[in-house]
Amino acid sequence: MAYYNREPEITNIIKSHERRANRMLQHAQSSRLLEAFNKIWVSIENKELPNFVSKNVMDFNVADIKSEINDWIKDLKDCQENARRKFESMEDPSPEDIQKRNNITSDVVLLISQYENLKNGLDQVEQDFSNVARTHRAPMREALTDISILYNSVNHVKGDFSDYKNVSVYVHGIEDSGNGFYESVKEAAQKGDLIIYVPNDGGKRVYRFIDKDGIIYEEDSYEKIKKVDTFNTNGRLHIVYDTEYMNEHRQATSDDLAEKLNEMGLMNDTTKIDMFGHSYGGRRSLQFAMDYPDHVRSITTIGTPYDKNLLAIGANRARWIADNAAGRNTTDTSDYLDFNEENKNNDNGKDYSNAYTDMDSEAMTEDINHLKSANPEVYQKLQKMDITAAAGYRTEDTVSFSPYYTASGKHKINSDDIVSVESQHGEILGDLIDEKPEIEVKGSGVTKPGHIYEVEDSEFIDLIREVNKKEAE
C-alpha cells in the first residue's frame, strides 16, 4: 500500500487505530495476538507495533476485538462518505480535488480489506488457542479427579452408594446410547439388585430396585427408592452409563466415568467394579481399568475392536461420505484432544479426537505395551483381573457345489460383519484375556449387522449374569 501518499484524513484515522490497537495488545499480553496484528500492520504502515508482551497468555475476547475493528471499518467508511459529499458539493472541483477523493476511496478500500484479513486472523488465533487448551485440559481434569478420590479416601468421605461392595458398570459403543444395555441389565439383574440408568441427554436418572420377592420399584430418585420397606444395599449395584457424547474418545469417557463414580462414593478401598462393554465401550472399559486398576475387578466385553478397525478408518478419513451417505456422526466428540497427533482429525479448524480417530490410529496393544514399559505394576494388576472378550458370530444359509456332491445348510461365518472374531477376542493383547467365548447373533450385512444385536442376545445376558455371580462369590 502506498502509505506515503495518504491524505491527512486517512493518516489521522490510522494513528487513532494504532493507539487503540496498542492498548488492546498491552492488555491481552498475547504474542499470538501481536503476531496477527503485525502481519497486517506491516502492510498498512510498513512497521510493526510495539511489543508490550511480558508474558505469553491470552486474556481477551475475540468478539470484543472484532467489534473494535468493525468500528475502525466504520471510521473509514464515514471518512469516505464525507469526502464524497464534500466533492459533490463543489461547483468546479480542481484536478487536486479529484485526486484527493480518489486517494481516499482507494485507501479506504485497501484498509478495509486489511482489517477484514485481521479479523480472519483473529479467528485462527482463537482456534489455535482453543485446540492447545483442550489438549492440556484432559490431564488437568484427570489430576483433579485423582486428588478428589484421594481426599475422599483420606477423610473417609462417603457417597450415597458407598455401602455397595459389588458394582457393575455398563459402557456402550459408538453411535449408540446406554438404552440397549439398560434393557439387557433389567433381564440380568437379580433379586435385591439396584439398577441406575445415567443418561447424558439431560434426562433424569432412573432407579430400578428388585426386592427379595421379585417386586420391581422404579423411581426417579434414590431417596424415593430408599423409602421402599424391603430396600437394602446387600445386592449388586448396576450402573448403566451414557457417555456425554456418543463418539467421545475412550480417555474422555474414563475421565468422566471416574468423576461420576467418585461423586457416587464408589471409588473407595472396598467397592469392586466389574466392567461390561459393548463394541468401542470395551476399549473405554479397558482404558478405565488402566487408569484406575485398584478399583476394577473384572472386564467383560463383546464385539470390541481391540485393534484398528477398517470401517472406522474409512469413516474417519472420508467422514463426509460416512456422515452424508451412511448417516454417521464422525465429528461428534467431547471437549477432548489427544496429545498424539495421529489420533486427531480436523473439522473447520477445530482439532478433535474421538472414537473414530482412535480406531484409525491406535490398536490397544500399543497402549498396553507402553503401560508395560512405563508402569509394569499397573500391567500386573491388569493381568490379575478377570478379562473376558466375547465375540459375536453369525451363521447363514450357504450352498456348496462340486462335481461329486452338493451341500447346503447353515454355516458359521467368523464375523459379526463389523469386527473380526480375532479382534473381538483381543488376540493382540496377549495373556491379558482369560476367556474367549463366542455368541451367535442375528443380523446380516452392513446395514443391520450382527454387531448391533450383541448386547440384547440372550447368551450375552446369561454371560452378564454368570460374571456378576462369579465375581461376587
Q: Write a three-state SS string for the chain.
A: CCHHHCCHHHHHHHHHHHHHHHHHHHHHCCHHHHHHHHHHHHHHHCCCCCCCCCCCCCCCCHHHHHHHHHHHHHHHHHHHHHHHHHHHHCCCCCHHHHHHHHHHHHHHHHHHHHHHHHHHHHHHHHHHHHHHHHHHHHHHHHHHHHHHHHHHHHCCCCCCCCCCCEEEEEECCCCCCCHHHHHHHHHHCCCCCEEEEECCCCCCCEEEEECCCCCEEEECCHHHHHCCCCCCCCCCEEEEECCCCCCECHHHHHHHHHHHHHHCCCCCCCCEEEEEEECHHHHHHHHHHHHCHHHEEEEEEECCCCCCCHHHHHHHHCHHHHHHHCCCCCCCCCCCCCCCHHHCEEECCEEECEHHHHHHHCCHHHHHHHHHHHCHHHHHHHHHCEEEEEEEEEEEEEEEECCCCEEEEEEEECECCCCEHHHHCCHHHHHHCCECCEEECCCECCCECHHHHCCCCHHHHHHHHHHHHHHHC
Within 10 angstroms of residue 113's Cβ, the number of other Cβ atoms is 13
Q: What per-residue confidence (pLDDT) applies to 407? A: 53
Question: Which residues, including other chains, have CB under 8 Å from residue 306's CB and lie 6 or more apart?
Answer: 282, 283, 286, 363, 364, 365, 389, 423, 424, 426, 427, 428, 429
**CATH top class, domain 161-307+363-472:** alpha beta
Which segments of the chain have a pLDDT < 50? 1-3
Q: What per-residue confidence (pLDDT) applies to 394? A: 82
Cα(134)–Cα(467) distance, rounded to whole angstroms?
38
- Domain ranges for the chain: 3-140, 161-307+363-472
Q: What per-residue confidence (pLDDT) applies to 168? A: 98
Q: What per-residue confidence (pLDDT) applies to 2? A: 44
Q: What per-residue confidence (pLDDT) applies to 1? A: 46
Asked whether 249 and 204 are in contact (CB, 8 A), the reply is no
pLDDT in tens, 251-299: 999 999 999 999 999 999 899 999 999 999 999 999 999 999 999 999 9
Q: What per-residue confidence (pLDDT) applies to 29? A: 86
Q: What per-residue confidence (pLDDT) applies to 118? A: 95
pLDDT in tens, 346-404: 998 899 999 999 999 999 999 999 999 999 999 999 999 999 999 998 877 665 555 55
Q: What per-residue confidence (pLDDT) applies to 28? A: 86
